[in-house]
Amino acid sequence: MFKRVNPIKFFLSAVLAIVVIGSVPVRAADDVLMMPVKPALETPAAKEKLDGSVSFYFGDTPHPEVLENYGEFVSNKKTNAFAKSDAETCQHVALSNFIEFQERARSLGGNAVINITSYFRRNEVKDDAHYECHVGFLMSGVALKGEVVKLAE
């Protein structure tokens, strides 16, 4: 009823499997990339999903006078990175954060998110033109923190 497994063949098969798996190049589990904001906001998906009613100001980028401040908010998104370029996956996950900020601002009556910083694992990185993207073999993540405000027009 049961076929007896040859222990030598089993051992050799196991060793071969370990050698094959061990020889496959493995990407670091978490590469940290500083990605430019502008390309992420200019993708076709961004043009489709961001309606322009909310402006985004990273770091210390100058902005009009703040009329109302609705508070500081964090958006932390992840996306599938398997078989995608770093730029593609980072732009996609950054856009998810921008969409969440847009929805939050509109729901509160704001028209901008200012002082946006990267905030991955609560580590704040301020940059006027870049955001921090963590890219792994299967997942990418971007966390942003910013203040939702109403700016003078």
Q: What is the pLDDT of residues 2-47, one digit of tens each?
A: 567 677 876 767 666 676 565 444 444 589 999 999 999 999 999 9
Other beta carbons less than 10 A from residue 102's beta carbon? 21
pLDDT 10s digits, 136-147: 989 999 999 999
Q: Tokens for 102?
A: 């847009």
pLDDT 10s digits, 116-138: 999 999 999 999 999 999 999 89
Question: In the CATH hierarchy, which fold is given to the domain comprising 27-151?
Answer: Translation Initiation Factor IF3 (3.30.110)
pTM as predicted: 0.79
What b/e string do you get for 36-68 counting C-beta neighbours within 10 Å, with b at 16 or more?
A: bbeebeebeebeeebeeebbbbbbeeebeeeee
Task: Say what the pLDDT of residue 4 is.
Answer: 75
- Write down the domain spans for the chain: 27-151
Residue 96 in this model has a pLDDT that exceeds 70: yes
Q: 93 and 77 in contact (C-beta within 8 Å)? A: yes
